[in-house]
């Protein structure tokens, strides 16, 4: 099984971080989604697999994709799953340690929200590794109840915790500028937005609910 799977979706390229630091990762396998496949090829990255109905690429771009890739899972536009969901479920089935998703935010709000909420899919929550969405300003993960340790990152100094379920119970934050102790946080409140780590490492825990963690920079 692969250690890492990187997925590039078809979101606006100006929102995609520099892929150069990821492109040379020998432990990673790439997958492309729809127009993201074309963007990977433009950067000299050959994905192992491609997903999509490819209605967002031109005929010339589609011909280039077909000529460069062997494993293309082309789907019909009319289907129950999005192309991103198909790619993510495939990645989970490979049982890697880490899945990183790029090009999943920016552009259409419905696409961005759908991609983010995919991380709350039961298969994603039960996945034993780490799944994260990364763009130029954010790193997004979805968490089930438990205890966690996070490292201070200069690239993403701000940390926000957003309940996805109606409530998150007993949220405790230690090593943060604004600590909490066994706090009940309701969905839609802004209590846990834009916190910061004051030590090299911080810890947090909660007993029930689903929590989205967003690490950001200005």
Q: Are 167 and 145 in contact (CB under 8 A)?
A: no
Q: Domain containing 39: what range? A: 4-136
DSSP single-letter state for residue 208: B
pLDDT class of 19 with cuts at 50, 70, 90: very high
In this predicted model, what pLDDT tens digit does every residue of 48-78 receive, in sequence order? Answer: 999 998 988 899 999 999 999 989 999 887 7
What's the CATH number where 59 sits?
3.40.50.10240
Residue 53 burial (CB count, 10 A): 15
Are residues 203 and 124 part of one domain? Answer: no
Number of domains in the chain: 2
Nearest residue to 140 via CA among 122, 118, 123: 118
Q: What is the pLDDT of residue 17?
A: 93
Rounded to whole angstroms, the Cα distance separating 87 from 58 reads 21
- Residue 110 burial (10 A CB sphere; 0-12, 13-18, 19+): exposed
Q: Which residues pair with 143 in a beta bridge?
A: 211
Q: What is the pLDDT of residue 79?
A: 79
In this predicted model, what pLDDT tens digit does every residue of 168-184 receive, in sequence order? Answer: 999 999 999 999 999 99
Q: What is the pLDDT of residue 207?
A: 98
Are residues 123 and 37 part of one domain? Answer: yes
Q: Are 177 and 153 in contact (CB under 8 A)?
A: no
């Amino acid at each position: 099984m692969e250690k890492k799977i990187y997925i590039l979706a078809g979101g606006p390229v100006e929102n995609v971080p520099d892929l150069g630091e990821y492109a040379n990762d020998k432990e990673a396998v790439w997958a492309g989604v729809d127009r993201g496949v074309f963007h990977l090829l433009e950067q000299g990255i050959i994905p192992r697999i491609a997903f999509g109905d490819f209605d967002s690429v031109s005929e010339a771009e589609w011909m280039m994709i077909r000529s460069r890739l062997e494993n293309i899972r082309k789907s019909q536009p009319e289907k129950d799953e999005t192309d991103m969901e198909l790619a993510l479920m495939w990645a989970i089935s490979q049982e890697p340690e880490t899945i990183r998703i790029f090009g999943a935010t920016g552009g259409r709000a419905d696409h961005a929200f759908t991609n983010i909420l995919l991380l709350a899919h039961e298969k994603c929550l039960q996945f034993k590794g780490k799944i994260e969405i990364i763009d130029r300003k954010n790193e997004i993960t979805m968490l089930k109840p438990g205890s966690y340790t996070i490292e201070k990152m200069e690239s993403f100094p701000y940390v926000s915790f957003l309940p996805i379920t109606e409530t998150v119970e007993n949220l405790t934050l230690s090593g943060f500028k604004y600590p909490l102790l066994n706090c009940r946080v309701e969905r839609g409140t802004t209590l846990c937005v834009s916190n910061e780590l004051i030590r090299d490492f911080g810890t947090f825990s909660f007993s029930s609910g689903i929590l989205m963690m967003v690490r950001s920079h200005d």
